Amino acid sequence: MNPTLVGTPVSDGIAIARAVWITSSARQESSKTIPPEEVEKELARWEKTCREVTEHLQKQRNFAEKTSAEILEIYLEMLDDPEWNTEVCRQIQTCRKSVPAAISEVLRPWILEMESLEDDYARQRAEDLRALENLLQEILSSAAPMETIPQNEPFIAVGEEIPPVFLIGKRNSHLRGILSQRGGTTSHTAILAQTLGIPAVMGCDGLFGKVRTGDLLLLDGSEGKIWLHPDSSLQEMYRKRLVRKKMPDISTPPLPVAYQGRRISLKINAADLSAVEAVRQYQADGVGLFRSEFLFMSETPDEETQFLFYRQLLENVPGPVFIRTLDVGGDKPIPGISLPPETNPFLGMRGCRLYPLHFSLIFQQLRALLRASMNGNLRILFPMIISPDEVTFLRQLIFQVQESLEAESLPFQKNVPVGLMIETPAAVMMASELAAQVDFFNLGTNDLTQYTLAVDRNHPDVGKLYNPRHPAVLRMIERTLQAASEASIEVCLCGELAGEPEMVKILLEMGLNEWSVTPSKIPLIRETLRKYV
């Protein structure tokens, strides 16, 4: 039975449940203008609305887990932004707009501008503005809650776009999956879905008119496939897969794992301090990839803030922590770095290419990292490397940072291991030369697949060609492992391919010893590894 619809897989897992369309019941007032005598009343109404939405978000934030709380904090910062607050008041006072109309007048141009940008990350931020607008309009219209969901039965949320706020607090509800026409892998909804372990498929064209509330859906968040009214045999096949994924017991201490005399290591990918609990809960061997750029998403932290954060992380994680230095550009812009518009940002200024232009930013981060190295097992990981010259520059940069710390009598570990992300064909072809300069490699198969196959995985037309199991990608991995073996350095695989149990035996035979995966995938990969050792 072929899938009815195909979209972008953004959160792994399988869901079989009835569809529920999530739509905003907010209604904008028909009158766009108000008489002069009502201006003061509308200004007071706007102030009251902001206060109510702020209180609502703060209450949710206080009881939310870390990732959810951080996203709610972004909404609170938007509400507190004096620029847009002033502009809404101007629309009410000068243009005599009603509050709902003024909100739309101010937010709509920003949303449209973000959606028009080539940068995928910027387009996804438009989702946040739309979600905030919906919240404000709901309060203003005194409408019923934005969703009408079943109280005692599982469901899959379906909509043009599922706002992030909808997911917060849904960990123990009957929400089984997410299916939307808009959205992508960098959206806050996608990040939350992954954090909460909710299967999700986004960017799925053709939802309108095909899927209705009450329709039975089978959603495969790993493959981006959706079946409408799946037959009993297909449901049974996927239910068996679901049971197999739930079988591993994380309460049992992991046994030492070895393959042909090689010790096998299983670590987690992380982006915040939840890594501390995840490593302990899943009894992982450490953090194989820590994405430090998430610290910079809402504001640029100073050196002391970074130092305290890294110190807390390193102090509490048993085992090594591989912290990737600031990796922005491409699909990950941040407030502290202004990037000029690029026709193809994935081939432009990103990763280490930005460091010479924003020297103080990376210098500050390296100072914070080296200072924190006294408190744990730090590994420094540099992204987007294509030549030995770039490694020479980075080694010199580390030396300068060490000199600056010594001049201030600040303690640090002098021989912190330094490694590179292997995520371009150029890095693979230069792997032997690069291996001679560093202590380890991390294989980033997400970008390596994209660059090897010349495929934008989020593109609606060519995304289906994205395949990390493509023979060309596998040969890239094998070549990297061979070069690392000859140089006697380790390689950790930290892309999505590392979380695929079907690839475990192939990767073992290639010579891979270290996996780093989403925490929830640890039990399954551990059980799969045990089959071959």
Per-residue pLDDT of 399-418, as tens digits, reads 999 999 999 999 999 999 99
pLDDT at 321: 97
Other CB atoms within 10 Å distance of the CB of residue 446: 17
pLDDT at 69 over 80: no
Q: How far apart are CA 283 and CA 426, in angstroms?
A: 35
Q: Looking at the predicted structure, is the pLDDT value of residue 186 above 70?
A: no
CA distance 155 to 162: 14
On whether the CB atoms of residues 15 and 78 are closer than 8 A, the answer is: no
Q: Is the pLDDT of residue 342 over 70?
A: no
Looking at the predicted structure, is the pLDDT value of residue 29 above 70?
A: no
Rounded to a whole number, what is the largest CA-CA distance in the chain?
83
pLDDT at 25: 44
Tell me the β-bridge partners of 289.
269
Q: How far from chain centre, in Å, is Cα 139?
A: 30
List the single range of 296-300, 317-321, 430-434 with lowest mean pLDDT. Answer: 296-300
Percent of the chain scoring above 70 in pLDDT:
80
Tell which wins on pLDDT, 300 or 305. Answer: 305
Which of 232-246, 270-284, 305-319, 359-373 has the lowest average pLDDT? Answer: 232-246
pLDDT of residue 193: 81
Q: Which of 66, 39, 11, 22 is nearest to 163 (CA)?
A: 22
- Selected catalytic residue, list 50, 89, 188, 352: 188
pTM: 0.62
- Lookup: tokens for 150: 């079943």
What's the full length of the chain, in residues? 533
Structure-token pair, residue 418 = 């330094």
- Say whether pLDDT at 422 is over 80: yes
Listed range (102-116, 250-264, 392-406, 437-451) with the worst mean pLDDT: 250-264
Pick the residue with more confidence: 126 or 245?
Answer: 126
Count of Cβ atoms closer than 10 Å to residue 45 Cβ: 16
The helix or strand, by DSSP H or E, that contains position 404, with its residue range, turns out to be: helix 388-407
499-510: pLDDT as tens digits: 889 999 999 999
Residue 292 is given by DSSP the state G
- Give the residue from 308, 494, 469, 508 showing the smallest Cα distance to 419: 494
CA–CA gap between residue 211 and residue 183 (Å, rounded): 18
For residue 469, the SS3 value is coil
* Whole-number Å distance between alpha carbons of 361 and 242: 45
14 versus 368: the higher-pLDDT residue is 368
For residue 517, what are the β-bridge partners? Answer: 268
User: Are the C-beta atoms of residues 171 and 177 closer than 8 Å to each other?
Assistant: no
Confidence of residue 67 (pLDDT cuts 50, 70, 90): low
Average pLDDT over the chain reads 82
pLDDT at 144: 38
When pLDDT is cut at 50, 70 and 90, the band that residue 24 belongs to is low
Choose, from 204, 352, 492, 494, the residue flagged as catalytic. 494
Catalytic site includes residue 494:
yes
Question: Using CA atoms, how far apart are residues 298 and 70, in angstroms rounded to an integer?
Answer: 9
Per-residue confidence band for 474, with pLDDT thresholds at 50, 70 and 90: very high
Closest CA to 124 of 200, 194, 184: 184
The residue that leads in pLDDT, 67 or 35, is 35
Kindly report the three-state secondary structure assignment for every residue of 22-40: CCCCCCCCCCCECCHHHHH
Q: Which residues, 6+ apart, have CB-to-CB distance to 145 below 8 Å?
A: 25, 138
Of 362 and 295, the structure prediction assigns the larger pLDDT to 362
Taking residues 486-510, report their average pLDDT. Answer: 93
Above 50 in pLDDT, residue 511? Answer: yes
Is 95 in the active site?
Answer: no
- pLDDT of 251 reads 46
- Strand pairing category for 14-21 and 490-493: unpaired
Q: Is the pLDDT of residue 147 over 50?
A: no
Separate counts of helices (H) and strands (E) for the chain: 18, 18
Nearest-CA neighbor of 130 among 73, 187, 203, 55? 187
- Range in 114-118, 156-160, 216-220 the model is least confident about: 114-118
Take residue 359 and report the two structure tokens written for it: 């020297």
Rounded CA-CA distance 106/149 in Å is 31
The answer to whether 457 and 287 have CB atoms below 8 angstroms apart is no
Average pLDDT over residues 71-100: 83
DSSP classification of residue 336:
T
Tens of pLDDT, residue by residue over 233-284, are 888 888 877 655 554 444 445 545 667 778 899 999 988 787 888 898 888 9
**Mean pLDDT of the region 110-126:** 67
Kindly tell me if the per-residue pLDDT of 7 is higher than 80.
yes
Q: Is the pLDDT of residue 480 over 70?
A: yes
Give DSSP secondary structure letters for 220-254.
ETTTTEEEES--HHHHHHHHHHHHHHH---TTSPP
Distance CA 169, CA 181 (A): 23
